[in-house]
Amino acid sequence: MSNSILEGETAGFRQTESAAGNVTVVMSMQQALNRALDEVLAENPKAVIFGEDCGRLGGVFRITDGLQSKHGENRVFDTPLAESGILGMSVGLAMAGFHPIPEVQFDGFAYPAINQIVCQIARMNYRSRGTLPMPITLRVPSFGGIRAPEHHGESLEALFAHVPGLKVVSPSNPHEAYHLLKYAATRPDPVIFMEPKSRYWQKGDVDAADGGSPEGAKVQREGRHLTLVAWGAMVARCLQVAELAAEDGIDIEVLDLRWLKPIDADALVASVRKTRRAVVVHEAPLTSGLGAEVAQLITQGCFDTLKAPVERVTGFDVPYPSGDLEDEYIPNIDRILFGIQRVLEYRRG
């Protein structure tokens, strides 16, 4: 039995255990986030979770399902439909020594709370000279891909990343979601945790004991000819593209940025200096999108080795569309492949 894999069912998850004792659980991103929040509540008595329908219902995406019945109504509770109130209350709770973990039900609903996020949460520690830290982990179901109506699919990472005092992170798979959320919920700084809602039902291996470093970017696929840089839901799409490109002998590296503020410039430069070409992929509009900042960091760190200008494959400069137009807006496999082709075929004049 020394080389066998033992399989069982635990709380709805498929669990495997190797002879070395490493336990991996197959779960969806929704389940991974739920487990992370459950453990955060158990480990930190000052952690509290709240938002619209987060209590008894367990959230519109069921990320907080079962947490109220397990940890009590004082730790997990519902709020009125008022995002400015949810984030304003978070400021007061943080001042009182709690670690608030509020949820904005959809990314487009964050706009009414921009004043609280930018003028209070992001600045309070600076304004108070460190006497009033803001250990707030704001969960925001983000991006498109679920064919939702208007205001239910947005890509706000550039807006949040531009604000001094905020940290911004976006996981790409269940394993990253579990470890990044647990790490974010221990930070003394406000963290905007952007969850790719189209990936909530994606299943993958989660090794709770081995998450690697939760900081910085992570290479999800090694390659030699070109680096695809992405975050959130676009990482999975870039991995698909890399598999297709491999059929034509093109070896693509996929770098999952993970942290959008601060950006891991060292990992970014290391990857592109190896491949000498880069394409940045994101759902947000092109103009002033986060891809521009990524492209500048690549150019600054790799100017002497780049074989071609950094390409961006993004959403269009229009308001994020409702569900019936998402397929035209979100970068698809063909658009990313064309971006790769433009970079590979670039010739200096």
- Cα separation, 308 vs 196, in Å, equals 30
Q: For the chain, how many residues are written?
A: 349
Amino acid identity, position 278: A
Residue 219: DSSP 8-state: E
Listed residue (103, 100, 256) closest to 176, CA to CA: 256
Please confirm, yes or no, whether 225 is among the known catalytic residues: no
Both structure tokens of 153: 């699919």
CA-to-CA distance for 56 and 25, rounded, in angstroms? 26
Q: Per the structure block, which two tokens stand in for 65? A: 């399902």
What's the rounded Cα separation, in Å, for the pair 45 and 66?
A: 17
The Cα–Cα gap between 141 and 108 comes to 9
Give the separation between CA 120 and CA 173, rounded to whole angstroms. 31
Q: Could you give the dihedral angle defined by the CA atoms of residues 43, 44, 47 and 49, in that order, rounded to the nearest 10 degrees?
A: 10
Within the chain, strands assigned E span 6-10, 13-17, 23-28, 47-51, 76-78, 99-103, 137-142, 167-169, 191-196, 203-206, 218-221, 226-230, 252-256, 259-261, 278-285, 311-315
Write the CA distances from 314 to 11, 47, 74, 285, integer angstroms.
39, 36, 42, 6
| Contact between residue 177 and residue 170 where contact means Cβ atoms under 8 Å apart | no
Query: Identity (one letter) of the amino acid at 132?
Result: L
The 8-class DSSP code of residue 222 comes to -
Catalytic residue among 71, 99, 152, 175: 152
Letter for the amino acid at 283?
Answer: E
Residue partners of 289: CB distance under 8 A and separation at least 6:
158, 282, 312, 314, 315
- CA 33 – CA 87 distance, rounded (Å): 21
- Residues annotated catalytic, as ranges: 152
